[in-house]
Structure 1
Amino acid sequence: MDFRHLGRSGLIVSRIAYGNWLTHDASRGEETERACVRAALDAGITTFDTADVYADTRAEESLGRALKGVRREGLEIFTKVFAPTGPGRNDLGLSRKHIRESADNSLRRLGTDHVDLYQAHRFDPSTPLEETMEAFADVVHAGKAHYIGVSEWTADQIRRGAALARELRIPLISNQPQYSALWRVPEAEVIPACQELGIGQIVWSPLAQGVLTGKYEPGGQWPAGSRATSENDGSELLGGWLKDDVLRRVAGLRPVADGLGLSLAQLALAWVLARPGVVTAVIGASRPEQITDNAKAADVTLDEETVALIDAALAPVATTDPGETAKSSPGSSDWRLA
């Protein structure tokens, strides 16, 4: 396993991170979680990413139990705050109340006294950014988080947040965007802004919800039990990619992967890890052997010719509009009351 510093911080993370957004869902659960976490640790992964909202808060509990007994100092545990975790009007967003209460609840569920990175899962237009960043400063100064990060913020939002973080003397070190060879939205604005600010990328869905593994073939006959045939939290992201043109182009990369002795998944992960600013890629799994195989991508270096082949094959079907980032967060100042 390869390791890198996250942004300009001193925090060192594994190039492949384990994420349990979809690993711990209603169809899998605790046994799968334990097996996948063990496979991640055996592969040298030390970085674990979750969020308070995953599986209605059960994902944090499951990850905490799976990591119990592992030397805490040898791990980097990340979680997030923003989405609703209860029925009340203050059970969501980035208010001081919700951040401070959510931080305590996340620590309880994870079974730890601190997280290494506490992330704003989305941008909250209904709360003054100054209040949000001051609340994160409270969490850091209380020793409940070492660093802070954001996820799916626009370049302008990141710049404003970073300026406040500097004033408050707290370390905003990361951004977590969706990013893959099929979803290149952050390249135009977000990643350049982050590089200027010394903020590293923790990318999610680097395999485009499994499309870049090649398991979905043209014709619409999806593998039984795959994300395309389920109703879990990731299925809605697949719609735009389950088209014959996209799937044929992905399948066309198989000779490239075969020539390098890689799976298509390893090829896609190596591609995203080679992109400027990307520090770590978050992977999930439905089986532990997927973690074992995909983690090998951390040691793969693609030459320029291979990267160019991948780009040329997928560019016509890749999403690149930077405006897509803003769509992932609420856009109305009164969304909380809707």
Structure 2
Amino acid sequence: MVKGGDIPLSDVGGIKLSKLMLGTAQLGISGYGIANRTGEVDARALLDRCAEHGINCFDTALEYGDAELKLGRYFEGKRTPFIVSKLKTDPNLDEAALEKQMNERTETILERLKLRTLPALMIHDPAVLEAYGERVSQVLNRLRRSGLIERAGVSLGANSDEQFARCGRLLHDEIYETVQLPLNLWDRRAVECGALRQFREDGKIVIARSVFLQGLFFRTADGLPEPLGTIAREALAKLGEIAETEGISVAELAMGYVRDTEGVHCLVIGAERPEQIDDNVRLLSGPVLSERARQALETEFRNVPDILITPAMWVQA
């Protein structure tokens, strides 16, 4: 096992964040992820292993079952790590109702996490920004001034390029210090649309998720539900070929690609077993991906079908 303290760190404005941010959907949602075969996980064992490695970043949400409750129980009385939680709001609210709902849901998050101040609160759906515009920013500013949150942000969805086109201008606001977005070997939309460049120039903390595309990269086409299996067959085979040419595993290829992308500070990766955290720390500490491999990936997977990069379109096997 890689020893604790070996986890790479990102220094963002004086804040030292572990490059690996544990995704906690698995802690609260049994069977989460297309590659999950273990069902419910041992939250304490996973969090203990994170502590051994010096992992101080955690991604959660109200929608992740009882994940926040488990984090709250584990960290009660301990130093607060960098916890990012997310909230959604209902559509068609007036300004007063919007602020009331955001306040109430933030307080619920804090109660579940047993915190007085949340390190980072993200808007879970950018459609909220599209619907309410600057009103959301105003409420987030008031939440920060009241001490309920330290910083705010937004989580871009699967169609990150389309969402950025509609609300990217709003994200210039300094209240949005943190941005989460999907980024992996097959999904570079956040890069190609210019979103990642803007966030880098604005000095935002950028968190990449879907690094392993919920484990799809490690499945065989024959084991996938249709039509995903048929559509993924050629892409998975090509991914294996590139990894073999480089003399590395698909996991090393996937991790190295996102880790080495300029402007990415943390990678959200879930786990069902402590050993997976060991493996991910080891992968993060690996050598830089070759330029040959990066070019091969970006050429081969320039335009992949939407179903391959949109988990909501999959049917669980």
Deviations 1:138-173 (A, max 9, x none): 11112121111111151551322433x4xxxx4x22
Residue number in structure 2 paired with 1:162: 172
1:62 to 58, 70, 77: 70
Q: One-letter code of the match for 1:95?
A: L
Query: How far has the Cα of 1:296 moved from its partner?
Result: 1.9
Deviations 1:255-308 (A, max 9, x none): 256x35xx4223211210111211111000122211110122322222322322
2:275 to 289, 304, 314: 289
TM-score (norm 2): 0.79
Q: Find out whether 1:79 has 2:85 as its counterpart.
A: yes
Q: 3-state SS of the aligned residue for 1:144?
A: coil
Query: How far has the Cα of 1:111 moved from its partner?
Result: 1.2
Q: Find out whether 1:221 has 2:229 as its counterpart.
A: no
Q: Find out whether 1:46 has 2:56 as its counterpart.
A: yes
Q: 3-state SS of the aligned residue for 1:4?
A: strand
Contact 1:181 1:318 in 2 (8 A): no
For the aligned residue pairs, the C-alpha RMSD in angstroms reads 3.1
Query: How far has the Cα of 1:312 moved from its partner?
Result: 3.8
Q: Find out whether 1:118 has 2:121 as its counterpart.
A: yes
User: Superposition pairs for residues 92-107 of structure 1, below 5 Å?
Assistant: 95-107=98-110
Deviations 1:71-126 (A, max 9, x none): 22xx2111111167xxx997xxx921221111110010011111211111112157
Deviations 1:210-266 (A, max 9, x none): 122x2x113x225xxxxx79xxxxxxxx94896211221222234256x35xx4223
Contact 1:53 1:83 in 2 (8 A): no
Residue number in structure 2 paired with 1:233: none
C-alpha separation between the residues in 2 aligned to 1:277 and 1:96? 32
Q: One-letter code of the match for 1:102?
A: R
Q: Find out whether 1:266 has 2:257 as its counterpart.
A: no
User: How many residues are paired up?
Assistant: 285
Residue number in structure 2 paired with 1:315: 302
- Assess, with a 3 A threshold, how the Cα gap between structure 1 residues 200 and 256 changes in structure 2: closer, same or farther: farther
Contact 2:130 2:167 in 1 (8 A): no
5+ long unaligned stretches in structure 1: 223-227, 230-237, 329-338
Deviations 1:10-41 (A, max 9, x none): 33211110011234213544x52222222222
Residue number in structure 1 paired with 2:159: none
Residue number in structure 1 paired with 2:197: 192
Contact 2:129 2:167 in 1 (8 A): no
Residue number in structure 2 paired with 1:298: 284
C-alpha separation between the residues in 2 aligned to 1:37 and 1:192? 33
Identity value in percent: 24
Query: How far has the Cα of 1:48 moved from its partner?
Result: 0.6
- Assess, with a 3 A threshold, how the Cα gap between structure 1 residues 120 and 283 changes in structure 2: closer, same or farther: same
Q: 3-state SS of the aligned residue for 2:168?
A: helix
C-alpha separation between the residues in 1 aligned to 2:199 and 2:104? 29
Residue number in structure 2 paired with 1:146: 150
